[in-house]
Structure 1
Amino acid sequence: MNLKQELQQLNDKLDKFRRKLDAAEKRGDQGVILQFKQEIATLTKRIANVKGQQTRQLNKKGADVRSLPFNRALTKAEQADMGKLKASIKGLVVVHPMTALGREMGITKVTGFAPKSF
């Protein structure tokens, strides 16, 4: 299971436990309230751990892409025929500014990174 799926499942469980906690508080069931508060605390800690792991992976991928010796913004024509561009340039990595990697790298235009100039 990848981190994105795990994070989604953890958030679903957290939502479920919060709803059950609300119901237990309405009933006044102290034992169940304490149990769900502990569950929520452990899930919150696990979610923070998974998010940190995602951030580390994204930073590593960004560093790998940045280490490629050549980069430049892609023209609209190149963006329109991305398949042809990728086929002609071996090792090309295209980063869009609206993706997580693009936001992390701080790019503002669709940029191509490659081992040699293109």
Structure 2
Amino acid sequence: MNTNKELQQLNNRLDKCCRKLTAAKKRGDKEIIMQAQAEQEKLRKAVAVLKNQQGKEVSEKTEAIKSLPFNRELSKQEQADMGKLKKTVRGLVVVHPLTAAGRELGLSQVTGFAPKPF
């Protein structure tokens, strides 16, 4: 399964568990409180593992992008007709500054990375 979907499901389960814990504390049900706290801790660990895995995936992706020898910022016209640009430049990778890879690379503009000048 996709790590984003898996992370979302774990966060939903964690949120549900938190609400369950709050309700149990209001009732004073110690058994349910203990179960909810244990489940909550287990889910938090799983979320941390997935976030770490996501970080590694993004780092690997950015390293692969950095290894491409040529890069430059794309003009608004090139961005408007991305299909044509990608057909003319083989191996072009476009990185937006608001994506995880873009933030890690420290980009301020939409940038294209390619094995050859374009």
- Above 0.5 in TM-score? yes
The aligned amino acid for 2:17 is F
**Per-residue Cα deviation, 1:16-60 (whole angstroms, up to 9, x for no partner):** 011111111111110110110011011001101100000000000
**Match of 1:58?**
58
Q: What is the Cα deviation at residue 105 of structure 1?
A: 1.1
Structure 1: 5+ residue runs without aligned partners? none
**Match of 2:116?**
116
Q: Aligned equivalents of 1:19 and 1:76: distance in 2?
A: 47
1:105 aligns with 2:95: no
Q: What is the Cα deviation at residue 77 of structure 1?
A: 1.3
**Per-residue Cα deviation, 1:64-114 (whole angstroms, up to 9, x for no partner):** 011001001111111111111000000000001011111111111110000
Q: What is the Cα deviation at residue 116 of structure 1?
A: 0.5
Structure 2: 5+ residue runs without aligned partners? none
Identity across matched positions, percent: 58
1:95 aligns with 2:83: no
The aligned amino acid for 1:55 is G
> Deviating runs (4+, > 4 A) in structure 1?
none
Alignment root-mean-square deviation, CA: 0.6
TM-score (norm 1): 0.98
TM-score (norm 2): 0.98
